A and B are shown apart, each in its own frame.
Chain A
């Protein structure tokens, strides 16, 4: 009888330890993701810039929410022949080039307009294949999916865990506009 009690209490203690460990792992993972997102430069393009006293600064009240829905862009200017090929909005969230116009995505977990309905697998597949959700249209420049996709699974998972931990913000980013010249 005493054996069983000893055995049982060891299990209880270890199980509690295990659960606690899970929670701690998750917390560490989110912390790691936060570090990766801030050092890999996701804010550069996914957080709108505003003009501040010291020049353009990321508007952290709209952190990682992508191109602002309220900012409707006029058609991009056409560039003369030559090495200048791309035009960027003042917010750094809309990019016009030979691929058409791309708008940076809302990376907060809003289910309708952000990553709320994405699974971890879809996020990894997107970065590895360069296709929307891993199976859809090719992702447009200048999104550096190939650089993110070169990271280890654990790191991409950490980035996703951090993005999922953000407060969801509703901001519907427009779909990309196709180049005029294409058929």
Chain B
């Protein structure tokens, strides 16, 4: 065959392949997605699950602004691969090394109900898994992908549901980074003492200064130790409100995810807080939303109506557990009364006074 026909043949094959969408098509030649193990004991969280001993290399942490999950008592751990560090060049978007695992355990009345796991199994895949505890409390099994509705009684007539994979992803993949409680603000050494449901740090809990001391951050960030991240606000109460909204609502209500078009930005970014009005305040205080609080006029209803909690959509929707109006829309069946009280007081007193 002549050189020329070789060329033409090659060009034709390439062009036909391009045309047919074979070259660069999605999903070709990629290994199948990694699956979570069937049992919690196989994930490496426990050294001995039968007596509840956590493997010593898993480090515990307590985010200062916890997510409300119907009053569950929570414990959390992280495991980094040996010698690996967290890339913290972007203060608001930490990047975890491949192999990182994070766990969160949920208990009601001293009984373990569920343990959730986030695992960066590959550079391009985070595995989400939920394990459901047995009655003997010596093993937990992988929950079905669709979750388990009304799984357990938790007192007061309420029942606890295990979220579906799609629900995990709604909260964990609607912002910049899938890890929500292990970041600069949540692990700051200067804790917000008014934060609802915050648990005191244990001697072993990871904070930024410990991460820095253990050399787990890349690059080193002595600045985050000297100036611990905190939300700048006009009052301590406002600080706690902004922190609560960031953790409990900001995973969906932010400027990067699928809800960006709604224009309600409750996620706090340390990098932005030094510049002018906090986005959470700018997009809520005295701003009319799409949702109109029942019983108020379209003109009277506000996302946050200064001085008027009863005309504030935020309060209305946080106080609801009816499916068509509750906020958050999933992952909870019981109102967070303490947080509603905090936000009411902020709207009535802090914002009403001016």
Contacts and interface: CB of A to CB of B under 8 A. Distances in A.
A119 B324 contact: no
B11 A135 contact: no
Interface in A96-137: 99-100, 117, 119, 121-122, 125, 128-129, 131-137
A148 interface: no
B170 interface: yes
Interface string A150-165: 0000000000000000
A17 B19 contact: yes
A183 B166 CA distance: 28
Contact of A129 (B4, B18, B166, B252): B166
Contacts of B252: 135
Contact of A134 (B7, B8, B170, B321): B170
A137 B324 contact: yes
Interface in B250-302: 252, 258-259, 261, 290-292, 294
A146 interface: no
A7 B324 contact: no
B18 A131 contact: no
A140 B324 contact: yes
B7 A3 contact: yes
Contacts, number: 74
A122 B326 CA distance: 20
Contacts of A177: 294
Contact of B329 (A10, A121, A135, A179): A135
B174 A18 contact: no
A50 to B, nearest CB: 28
Contacts of B324: 99-100, 137-138, 140, 176, 178
B56 to A, nearest CB: 37
A21 interface: yes
Contact of B323 (A122, A125, A134, A137): A137
B330 interface: yes
A178 B259 contact: no
A6 B19 contact: no
A175 B4 contact: no
B325 interface: yes
A11 interface: yes
A18 B19 contact: yes
B55 interface: no
B322 interface: yes
Contact of B259 (A2, A133, A137): A133
A182 interface: yes
Given A3-B7, A131-B329, A175-B292, A10 B258 contact: no
Interface in B1-41: 3-4, 7-8, 11-12, 15-16, 18-19
Nearest to A101: B324
Contact of B4 (A3, A17, A137, A138): A3
A11 B15 contact: yes
Contacts of B19: 14, 17-18, 21
Contacts of A122: 258
Nearest to A2: B4
A178 B258 contact: no
Contacts of A21: 19
A129 B322 CA distance: 18
Given A135-B329, A136-B329, A176-B324, A3 B174 contact: no
Contacts of B259: 133, 135
Nearest to A175: B291
Contacts of A99: 324
A21 B18 CA distance: 12
B326 A137 contact: yes
Interface string B324-336: 1110011000000
Contact of A10 (B8, B291, B326): B8
Contact of B258 (A2, A7, A119, A176): A119
B242 to A, nearest CB: 22
Contact of A182 (B12, B15, B171, B322): B322
B11 A11 contact: yes
Contacts of A125: 166
B335 to A, nearest CB: 10
Contacts of A121: 258
11 contacts: A3-B3, A3-B7, A7-B11, A131-B330, A133-B259, A134-B258, A135-B170, A135-B330, A136-B329, A137-B324, A140-B324
Given A7-B7, A7-B8, A138-B329, 15 more contacts: A10-B11, A10-B12, A11-B11, A99-B324, A100-B324, A125-B166, A135-B252, A136-B329, A137-B326, A138-B323, A138-B324, A140-B324, A176-B324, A178-B322, A182-B322
Interface of A: 2-3, 6-7, 10-11, 14-15, 17-18, 21, 99-100, 117, 119, 121-122, 125, 128-129, 131-138, 140, 175-179, 182-183
